[in-house]
Amino acid sequence: MTGFGREGNKMKILITGGAGFIGSHLAERLLENGNEVFVIDNLWTGKLANISKIQNHERLHLVIDTILNESVMNELIFKADQIYHLAAAVGVRNIMDHPVETLDTNVKGTEVVLRLANQFKKKVFIASTSEIYGKHVEHDLSEDDNRVMGSVKKRRWAYACSKTLDEFQALAYFDEKKLPVLIGRLFNTVGPRQTGQYGMVLPNFVQSALFGKPINVYGDGTQSRSFAHVNDVVDAITRLMDEPAAEGDIFNVGNNEEVTIKDLALKVKEMTGSDSEIDFVPYEKAYGPGFEDMERRCPNISKLKKAIGFEPSYDLESIIQSVIDYFKE
């Protein structure tokens, strides 16, 4: 069903950040469903290799540029029926190293997308993040929970605060301008094509295990995460875009199967048959003094289930296996 217009016609869909990890999988899915897809990406963290399978597709149009280029964005948004706004600075290491670019891309970029989308009244999906919740530890995270942020002097929280502003902007456009917009708070999304370059934990673990290098666990490894396969995430966000009742609302998107980082490292080691040692690296050594992490990050996805009947199709073992298979290719 995904990607049909009101008359059953296929759509023209714009993906910002469409050469990124999630964006490239989304582009493939939308093309498979018969849509015409426009991708804009500045290739800061995106890669042409991510879209190599579809780069010559007759219904794919690639623009290598920044979303801050308003004349280009104006033309793309005018053509599009729907917009998936995925372009963002991502990865803890990347954000720690480039805070100015993080704020520029995430805050100004979203402002450009929403303002131009409103001009033409085009429906927008805003990709947000579980980082929004900050230092919550009490329970599975629900969309209406309070946020618990660290000090503004801790660069770690720049990303979370920038995406919070994105959400405020999106809901303001919905409330005041009646722009059809919805927000997905993506939890840890993993799968083929994700790089460990920017501190992404699972690809780093798998690559280290396959090459017999030490598996570096930051902190004591008791911090927990919930990993969702990119195919499940793409399924969820496209179905949300097809659900009119989702407009003006926020949804956690992820998998509620929780694992500690230490247990994840042990599982990767077991599944790869690796002899790698597991090394525990102090946060200070990895990210500098004063780094703060989220001790727990597990979504309550009952709202998503109620809206679209979503159930994750990948469990943790099958997620890890898909990443192992990718790096073995």
Residues known to be catalytic: 159
**What is the side-by-side order of every strand in the sheet holding 258-260?**
258-260, 224-226, 296-297
Q: Which residue has the tokens 């929004």?
A: 132
Comparing CA positions, the residue from 237, 229, 225 lying closest to residue 191 is 229
b/e code 115-142 from CB counts within 10 Å (16+ = b): bbbbeeebbbbbbbbbbbbbebeeebbe
b/e code 173-190 from CB counts within 10 Å (16+ = b): bbeeeebbbbbbbbbbbb
CA within 13 Å, CB half, 159: 21
In angstroms, the first-to-last Cα distance of the chain is 32
The beta strand positions in 7-95, using DSSP E, are 12-16, 36-41, 60-64, 82-85
